[in-house]
Homo-oligomer: A and B are copies of this chain.
Amino acid sequence: MATRCAVVGATGLAGQQFLAALQNHPFFECVRIAASSRSAGKKLSDAVRQDSGAIGWYVEPSALEHYRELVVEDSKTMSLDGIELVFTAVDSEPARELEPMYAQKLPVISAASAFRYEADVPLLIPAVNGAHAQLIRVQQKKRGWDGFIVPIPNCTTTGMAIALAPLHAAFGIEKVIMTSMQATSGAGRSPGVIALDIVDNIIPYIKSEEEKVVKETTKILGLLAGETIEPANVRVSCTCTRAPVLEGHTETVTVSLSRATTIQECVAAMRVFGRDINPNTHPSAPQHWITVLDDPFRPQPRRDRENEHGMTTTVGRLRPDDVLGEYGVKFVLVSHNTKMGAAKGAILVAEDLKLRGFI
């Protein structure tokens, strides 16, 4: 029987993406939606209608059709009765207040950054660090919660962590230097990135993004040691920029490895990575966690972001590099920042936790 869940922040872009991804989901059924008090009490179809008469629904129309009669509750007073799981798609500040409130009773899978860096909070990508889920028990014990909070990583971290994981496992990663060219959807819609700033332009800075990538990458690639995660001994340096791209983050990644390898071995390691977590086991998982392309002109965000429904990380231009370290490779990746990097990635985490008995 489907796990009954709530989506908090349901009227925003990220929340809508949760609803779209939960329609007809085999494991989960969204039975409650919440948002700020401004929307509370309205049917979803009214809550997304704007003053101008426009319908502010940005994802599959079928999802609005599906949930249109659901009444939006106030996220601060929403009842948790009858639900077993909460997905949150709110900003970091409200998340800091709301998520612990829900977590006292229920599992909370969060797209917000509020709790990502706390010592007892795992940052899960199932194929990469599923073992970190054990930290949930530490969190529950320490905080006295029946539920828990598991955030997903920042969308810029996710693609890189996936691409690095098989290299780290097979050859040991020592250093990483990365430049991102991030899609505007990463900034959401309010205020989002205005066209006047990004058309015919690159913005070379995204506030706090580089710090997040550094901290999250080492945490995700780290090892669970007793009641905490020992960060991986990987040095990460990055420059995060915004590009005139709608969806899909592109990253150029240079990696130094602990020992010699070949491009063929790297490709092989990437191609088999994560294959135990696939659509047969996890409905939202990709068949291939990493898709490696030979065409030197790929990956491209517009042409590759939707590969495997936005859930694979597409890698190309894999070639040796001996400048960052004695042994190494460099490559370009594209990761769908609002699918694997957001709602669908969070749902995939929930699928994994359910299969493993945490939900």
Interface status of A66 (Cβ within 8 A of chain B)? no
Interface status of A312 (Cβ within 8 A of chain B)? no
Which A residues from 25 to 56 make CB contacts under 8 A with B? 52-55
Which chain B positions have C-beta within 8 A of A342? none
Which A residues from 182 to 235 make CB contacts under 8 A with B? 184-185, 189-205, 207, 235
Which A residues from 75 to 100 make CB contacts under 8 A with B? none
Which chain B positions have C-beta within 8 A of A300? 201-204
**Residues A202 and B246 in contact, CB atoms below 8 Å apart:** no
Select the stretch in A1-9, A135-143, A237-245, A257-265 that faces chain B. Answer: A237-245
**From B195, B201, B236, contact of A323 by CB (8 A):** B236
Q: Return A45 CB to nearest CB of chain B, in Å.
A: 12
Which chain B positions have C-beta within 8 A of A344? none
Give CA–CA (A1, B27) in the complex, Å. Answer: 42
Select the stretch in A275-283, A291-299, A351-359 that faces chain B. Answer: A291-299
Select the stretch in A153-161, A163-171, A173-181 that faces chain B. Answer: A173-181
CB closest residue in chain B, given A254: B177
**From B190, B194, B252, contact of A241 by CB (8 A):** B252
Give CA–CA (A205, B194) in the complex, Å. Answer: 18
Which chain B positions have C-beta within 8 A of A191? 190-192, 194
Give CA–CA (A124, B358) in the complex, Å. Answer: 60
**Residues B54 and A297 in contact, CB atoms below 8 Å apart:** yes
Interface status of A317 (Cβ within 8 A of chain B)? yes
Q: Please list the 5 inter-chain residue pairs (A to B) with the smallest Cβ-Cβ separation, ordered nearest first.
A: A237-B323, A179-B179, A192-B194, A201-B302, A54-B297
**Residues B177 and A245 in contact, CB atoms below 8 Å apart:** no
Contact (A323, B202) CB under 8 Å given A52-B297, A195-B194, A250-B241: no
Interface status of A74 (Cβ within 8 A of chain B)? no
**Residues B297 and A203 in contact, CB atoms below 8 Å apart:** yes
Interface status of A330 (Cβ within 8 A of chain B)? yes
Interface status of A101 (Cβ within 8 A of chain B)? no
Interface status of A324 (Cβ within 8 A of chain B)? yes
Contact (A199, B246) CB under 8 Å given A189-B194, A194-B194, A332-B204: yes
Give CA–CA (A55, B190) in the complex, Å. Answer: 20
CB closest residue in chain B, given A239: B252
Q: Return A255 CB to nearest CB of chain B, in Å.
A: 11
**From B194, B237, B246, contact of A254 by CB (8 A):** B237
CB-defined A-B contacts under 8 Å, sample of 29: A52-B296, A53-B297, A54-B205, A54-B296, A58-B196, A175-B324, A177-B177, A177-B254, A177-B324, A179-B179, A179-B239, A181-B181, A191-B192, A194-B194, A194-B195, A195-B197, A195-B246, A196-B246, A199-B199, A199-B246, A200-B302, A202-B243, A204-B250, A204-B298, A205-B296, A235-B322, A237-B323, A237-B330, A239-B332
